A = this chain, B = another copy of it.
């Protein structure tokens, strides 16, 4: 029995509110239950130094938790003067995931930065960030296409992410914080609409896991991502 009463393959309620803030080229408040992340896409007409002169664009991600997004207040990374290893790991994952579905040539020599700021945390903040960031990116790209800055769509496919884990010996979908903090294994899947995999990060916590369990987690993730793809589609067409 899961603490939330959900069944093993049951997602939390997903909401995706577009236009949450007004300045960004794409702005989305995404919720997976009590996990709420503000994802904004910012377009800049320049690329980082290592990409200059290639005629290609760049997509990157940044991630942060507000200090009191969590049960107890965490210290502010800006005040400490550096980003934690965890933050950097998540930022790299967000950028890598979104680049895996973006045609950088078609994007043209510009950069889109996806800022994912966790307003409230209840497990799964990195996967919610990726799923929400795709919508923000989609909106920003739509704007670039509408204005004629981009001719061909550089973002033909959706991408989504979800965490699964082995909780009390059972593979379950979409871990919330109470499950995550006591799971035997924790796996994040980044999946592309149509069935392909962009990234798997599956880590044993305490107990280790075997190949069969890995496959069961992957299948749960497919179920979950199909639901996210639908929510993304609805949000974009809204």
Contacts and interface: CB of A to CB of B under 8 A. Distances in A.
Interface of A: 21-24, 27, 34, 36, 38, 40, 42, 44, 62, 64, 66-73, 76-79, 81-89, 91-92, 96, 100, 113, 115, 117, 119-121, 187, 192, 195-204, 206, 208-211, 214-215, 218
A42 B68 contact: yes
A206 to B, nearest CB: 8
Given A78-B78, A96-B203, A119-B38, A197 B215 contact: no
Contacts of A67: 40, 42, 62, 113, 115
How many of these chains are in the complex? 6
Contact of A199 (B24, B69, B202, B210): B202
Helix, strand, loop or mixed for chain A's interface? mixed
B22 A120 contact: yes
A63 to B, nearest CB: 10
Nearest to A101: B208
Contact of A211 (B34, B119, B197): B197
**Which residue among A76, A96, A209 has the maximum number of chain B CB atoms within 10 Å of its CB?**
A76
Contact of A197 (B36, B196, B199, B208): B208
20 contacts: A21-B36, A24-B68, A27-B68, A42-B68, A67-B113, A73-B113, A76-B78, A78-B87, A79-B83, A85-B89, A88-B89, A96-B203, A187-B200, A196-B210, A197-B208, A198-B208, A199-B202, A201-B202, A214-B218, A215-B215
Contacts of A84: 88
B76 A208 contact: no
A38 B22 contact: no
A146 B187 CA distance: 39
A38 B23 contact: no
Contacts of A209: 196-197
Contact of A117 (B66, B77, B201): B66
Contacts of A200: 187, 200-202, 214
